[in-house]
Each structure stands twice: as structure tokens, then as C-alpha cells.
Amino acid sequence: MATVTDIYIALEDEYYLVRYTSNHSHSTDFQVWPVYWVTPPSGEPLFGEIGATRANNPDDLPAFIAGSVKWDGCSDIEFPEYEKESCALHNCSRFGLTSMGVLLGRIWDQCIVLCPNSDTGVTGEPNAIVDDSPFPWEAVH
């Protein structure tokens, strides 16, 4: 039986919903959707990016990022929106590039915590630091 956990991650003024699914004893899967608000975070979120299709339910949109992290720390990351094209991530600043790394690092941390048989000692990685805030405006930056 799969366990699904939705967690919001805030990075400065960017917000993401990450859906973690633990349905194996050896890995945790994840999907990521950007969260978009017309005004600062309040009420129900809209999912999607500025200038793109948005929805009230993330399941109505393709995930921006998807993948899995295994018990030993190995990970696979995909960009489903770009499956049919050459994958290119456009960023307008250094912050855009570094925030992607921070986002992926936080996702990795949470996947390891949710994986029942994880062993981060195998990879030499430090203990996971997890942002378990239920809402993005309460998340630690």
C-alpha cells in the first residue's frame, strides 16, 4: 500500500508542491509542481507557472520534475513536461540555477527520510534536513 505525503517547499519567492510516494521498501518516488499565486501566498494555491496553464489541482497538470531516490541515496530525476523535446531549463539568473539545486537537495533529504530502509551512511551524505511545514508560507527558507 502506497503512502502519499504532500509537502510545500519555499525558496525565497518561489513555491513548490512536492508529492512523495513511498510504495516500495527500497525507494521513494516524487513529483514536483510549481505553485503560483496572483498575490502573496493566501488561500488556495494555483499550480503551474506564470504564463502557462494553471489549475487548482496539481493532478490536472503534468509534474514539472519527477523521479525517485533509492535506499542507498542514488536518484533518478526526470522533467516530464519536456519529454518530447530536448530538455533545457531556462533560468534568468544565478539564483534560478542555485535554487534548483537547493530544491533538489531538499527533495532528496525528504525521500531518504520517507524511505523505510534508507542507509545514508552508504553514500557518505550527512543526515537529511527536512522541511516538514504543511504550508509554503510557514516553510523555513
Strands (E), the chain: 3-11, 14-22, 27-36, 46-47, 65-70, 75-78
> Distance (Å, rounded) from C-alpha 112 to C-alpha 35?
24
The pLDDT-based confidence of 28 (bands split at 50, 70, 90) is very high
Residue with more model confidence, 11 or 120: 11
In a 3-state reduction of DSSP, which class is residue 55?
strand
Q: What is the mean pLDDT of residues 99-113?
A: 89
Q: What is the mean pLDDT of residues 50-54?
A: 68
- Which residues sit opposite 18 in a β-bridge? 7, 32
Mean pLDDT lowest among 46-50, 68-72, 128-132: 128-132
Residue 48 grid cell: 503551474
Minimal CA–CA distance to 53: which of 36, 30, 75? Answer: 36
Confidence (pTM) = 0.75
Q: What is the mean pLDDT of residues 81-100?
A: 74
Could you give the percent of the chain with pLDDT greater than 70?
70
Residue 110 grid cell: 525528504
> Distance (Å, rounded) from C-alpha 53 to C-alpha 87?
19
> Distance (Å, rounded) from C-alpha 106 to C-alpha 24?
20
Minimal CA–CA distance to 96: which of 47, 58, 49, 40? Answer: 49
pLDDT of residue 66: 93
Residue 127 confidence (pLDDT) above 60: no
Cβ-proximal residues to 93 (8 Å cutoff; 6+ apart), any chain = none
Domain extent listing, the chain:
3-138
Residue 19 confidence (pLDDT) above 90: yes
